[in-house]
Amino acid sequence: MTSTRSKIRAIITGTTGMVGEGVLNECLIHPDVEQVLVINRNPCGVSHPKLIEVLHSNFFDLSTIEPQLINAEGIRPRA
């Protein structure tokens, strides 16, 4: 049986922490996730074909990265 679900484009913040790192790893191995955008203050140190990393220091102003947030379907707030 073929899955008819569309692929997921996720956004995760805080992937340098324990919880965020775990969420990132699960997204990268999950077959329904086609792209993972991570937004961090510091590099996460992960390289993967599904991964796009954006370094951004001011989480109170997302206007400079807003175009990259379009079409995302999941957000994991910082824990």
Structure confidence by residue, pLDDT tens digits, 32-79 = 999 999 999 999 999 999 999 999 999 899 899 988 888 776 655 554
pLDDT at residue 7, rounded to an integer:
85
pLDDT at residue 4, rounded to an integer:
66
pLDDT at residue 2, rounded to an integer:
56
pLDDT at residue 49, rounded to an integer:
98
Q: Is the predicted pLDDT of residue 1 greater than 90, yes or no? A: no
DSSP 5: P
